[in-house]
Amino acid sequence: MAEEKVNYTEDNIRSLDWKEHIRMRPGMYIGKLGDGAMADDGIYVLVKEIVDNSIDEFVMGNGKRINVKIKNGEVEVRDFGRGIPLGKVVDCVSKINTGGKYDSKAFKKSVGLNGVGTKAVNALSKNFIVQSVREGKKKEAVFSRGELLEDKKLEKSEERNGTYFSFMPDGEIFKNYNFKIPYLEKMFWNYCYLNRGLSIYFNGEKFYSENGLKDLLEDNMESEPLYPIIHLEGEDIEVSITHIRSYGENYYSFVNGQHTTQGGTHQSEFRAAIARVIKDFFGKNYDAVDIRQSIVAAVAVKVIEPVFESQTKTKLGSLEVEPGGKSMRAFIYDFLKEKLDNYLHRHPEVAEVIEKKIKQSEKERKDLQGIRKLARERAKKASLHNKKLRDCRVHLNTKKENGPESTIFITEGDSASGSITKARDVNTQAVFSLRGKPLNSFGLSKKVVYENEEFNLLQAALNIEDDIENLRYNRVVIATDADVDGMHIRLLLLTFFLQFFPELVRNGHVYILQTPLFRVRNKKETIYCYSSEEKANAIEKLGRNPEITRFKGLGEISPDEFSNFIGEDMRLDPVIIGKDAKIEDILDFYMGKNTPSRQEFIIDNLRVEEAVEM
């Protein structure tokens, strides 16, 4: 059959206005959309874009307090800076090429320089209000989806100078969205760590930091540091460093106040520089891997006109600290060479602990070399890609960086694995099949990762054997039955990740798949329910005597039905480590000896209704 010929004339050329383009291509402005289950979902980018403007005001010495309120999906932000110039309020939130950040003198080291963020929030919000107060006068404008509804006249005001924004993300674009408080709290804490003296009040709770990045490490370490945190500051750079009793490396990196969750040139150069400086200090050719093992560090730099790899600014691409200036490599190395080297000379007791830790890591690594070689051979013989892992096309025969939508489901049992494998999107979703319950790895050394076949093959599938940055999937989803055995498997897998690869959890890669407990249907409609409450609502909606099915395991859900649960509307619960939670304490409580306190916890939190139905 011949293809229909499509004319290409002047009539096919169309110009979109600013709001149409943002709404048609939101990913260009705020990254992926999402429903709030992941920390980099668009609704959090909207909040960040508005708060960033208030942060820039604080950095320039205007306003020490920002009030944020989020309730029922609506966001309010009020700062006490200078306020937007009253004659430009409408233009600043609705004209793409308008904003104070184009004046590099005024915003020399701003979070953002293109003036797009606030306009994107406006265009992607069902309701959007902006108010500016300056010298006794107030200006307000009201928008909906970027369309100006009301341009109010100037009025007198006794309020303090500053800017107020109120917006509600558009439900047509952000379907079933829900703000998760831990993600927002982490964002606001980071703002305060990087801007000492700033107070953020989020829903009435105060966020404030006295000691910057030193506070960040103290508040986020999962075990006690092996030595006091090293806190160093210089012009346009601040770092804090220590080592803990844990596997892996953990970095917090920032550029101009922006949390670069995907790192970038500054983080890469920091990792290289710290290994080089410590080698030089001890005068020994220690392996960089051993130097950085168990390190926890934060680095914040200020860069003139930073170049990010996307509008969401999660990865720095700049090779220089300013156009035509010093390289990022030289800037960071020179700073550490002077400051860290001096610190270690003044604190020989700290240097002694660091060298002891390096030697321990070196010994463990060498002891594992033979085991790792055998483990690789076993993984090869197991025909990983044909038996345990059903990979997705975006990864087969490639070692490219993991894509934004790549997902691997970890399942247990042939029936569950078979259902997901048949229902998945073969382009972006992979399936790894477990055989029985994994080993309880709590308190064991990394040797178990290579000696235990399931763990060995799992880390090989994820490609995290040598470096966590080689992770092949953006989302690692644990998909187990919603019964006692399934919960136990889930807990054992989380123990494995937290024990040996905590960065996976810290960096927001690990999720729990929620699948329906019930199917309620009649001849006209089918409703899948994830709780007893949803089941009751479905029965009420469908009327008399609908058919009710209780899913006891993933294997009971047909591939055709499974496609409804792992598509665009997939329900994922992120595994989040709270600010005050320490991994060491969590694992000891849940996976250590069976203590009375744990028994008490289980009894207090047992959901009797669901247990009976199971």
Q: Which domains does the chain have, with CATH numbers?
A: 18-207 (3.30.565.10), 213-362 (3.30.230.10), 382-514 (3.40.50.670), 518-550 (no CATH)
Q: Is the pLDDT of residue 309 over 90?
A: no
Cβ–Cβ under 8 Å, residues 227 and 284: no
C-alpha–C-alpha distance, residues 35 and 208, integer Å: 29
**Cα 381 → chain centroid:** 35
Cβ–Cβ under 8 Å, residues 63 and 162: yes
pLDDT single digits (tens) 493-510: 998 988 888 888 888 889
Q: Is the pLDDT of residue 138 over 90?
A: yes
Q: If you average pLDDT over residues 157-175, what whole number do you get?
A: 92
Q: For the residues of 349-394, what is the DSSP string, one character each?
A: HHHHHHHHHHHHHHHHHHHHHHHHHHHHHHHHHTTTTTTTEE--TT
Residue 125, pLDDT score: 92
pLDDT single digits (tens) 282-297: 999 999 999 999 999 9
Residue 104, pLDDT score: 47
pLDDT single digits (tens) 582-606: 666 677 666 766 667 666 665 665 5
pLDDT single digits (tens) 440-486: 888 888 888 788 888 888 888 888 877 777 888 988 999 888 777 88
Q: Is the pLDDT of residue 281 over 70?
A: yes
Beta-carbon contacts of 588 under 8 Å, excluding residues fewer than 6 positions away, are 442
Range with the largest mean pLDDT of 67-81, 91-105, 245-259, 398-412: 67-81
β-pairing verdict for 518-521 and 547-550: antiparallel
Residue 95, pLDDT score: 80
Q: Is the pLDDT of residue 207 over 90?
A: yes
Q: What is the DSSP secondary structure assignment for residue 492, as one 8-state letter?
A: H
Amino acid at 465: E
Q: For the residues of 406-445, what is the DSSP string, one character each?
A: -EEEEEESHHHHHHHHHHS-TTTEEEEEE-SPPP--TT--
| pLDDT tier at 106, thresholds 50, 70, 90 | very low
C-alpha–C-alpha distance, residues 66 and 198, integer Å: 8
Q: Is the pLDDT of residue 9 over 60?
A: no
Q: Is the pLDDT of residue 202 over 80?
A: yes
Residue 338, pLDDT score: 95
| pLDDT tier at 399, thresholds 50, 70, 90 | very low
| Whole-angstrom Cα Rg for the chain | 27
- Percent of the chain with pLDDT strictly greater than 90: 37
Q: Is the pLDDT of residue 403 over 50?
A: no
Residue 569, pLDDT score: 74
Q: Is the pLDDT of residue 6 over 60?
A: no
Q: If you average pLDDT over residues 71-90, what whole number do you get?
A: 92
Residue 367, pLDDT score: 82
β-bridge mates for residue 134, sequence order: 137
β-pairing verdict for 162-169 and 74-79: antiparallel
Q: If you average pLDDT over residues 184-210, what whole number do you get?
A: 94
Q: For the residues of 233-294, what is the DSSP string, one character each?
A: EETTEEEEEEEBSSSS-EEEEEETTEE-TT-BHHHHHHHHHHHHHHHHHHTS---HHHHHTT
Residue whose tokens read 């270690």: 344
Residue 610, pLDDT score: 41
Q: If you average pLDDT over residues 89-105, what whole number do you get?
A: 67
C-alpha–C-alpha distance, residues 356 and 245, integer Å: 12
3-state helix, strand, coil in the chain (%, to 5): 40, 20, 40
Residue 150, pLDDT score: 92
- Which carries the bigger pLDDT value, residue 291 or residue 262? 291
Residue 105, pLDDT score: 47
The pair of three-digit structure tokens given for residue 231, joined into one six-digit string: 């806190």
This prediction's pTM: 0.76
- Percent of the chain with pLDDT strictly greater than 70: 85
Q: Is the pLDDT of residue 570 over 80?
A: yes
Q: Which conformational region is residue 288 in: left (phi greater than 0), alpha (psi within -120 to 50 degrees), or beta?
A: alpha
pLDDT single digits (tens) 17-51: 778 888 888 878 887 888 888 888 889 999 999 99
C-alpha–C-alpha distance, residues 333 and 266, integer Å: 11
Residue 1, pLDDT score: 45
**Cα 520 → chain centroid:** 35
